[in-house]
Amino acid sequence: MAERIRLEDRECPLSATLRLVGEWWTLLILHDAFDGYSRFDQFRDNLGISSSLLTNRLKRLGDVGLLERPYPMRHPSDWPCPHGGMTLRSPLRHMTF
């Protein structure tokens, strides 16, 4: 029987992307961001996700540039989707059936 390959053991762009956005909540957050959501409470209320899990996912997406972290001049719960995050919109939309 063939041995299953773990994403962590592969070094390719697809594996790296899946490690980042392949989690259930992460994909749903990005989907909402593509639809114009940017506020913490909008994500939380629309998805029904816990605040702690949402905070964790938003920080991770902000760290890699798929969402913009809040700046002191902006509302502290505003997480807009910059160009880098929007580049995933088309591939993710094409994956839906």
- Looking at the whole model, is its pTM more than 0.85? no
Q: Name, in order, each residue with C-beta under 8 angstroms of 57's C-beta and a sequence gap of 6 or more.
A: 23, 25, 26, 29, 49
Q: What is the pLDDT of residues 63-87, one digit of tens each?
A: 888 888 776 655 556 766 666 666 6
Structural domains in the chain?
21-70 (1.10.10)
How far is residue 93's CA from residue 85's CA, in Å, rounded to a whole number?
A: 13
Question: Which has more pLDDT, 80 or 30?
Answer: 30
Exposed/middle/buried for residue 79 (C-beta within 10 Å: 0-12, 13-18, 19+): buried
Helix, strand and coil in the chain, % to nearest 5: 55, 0, 40
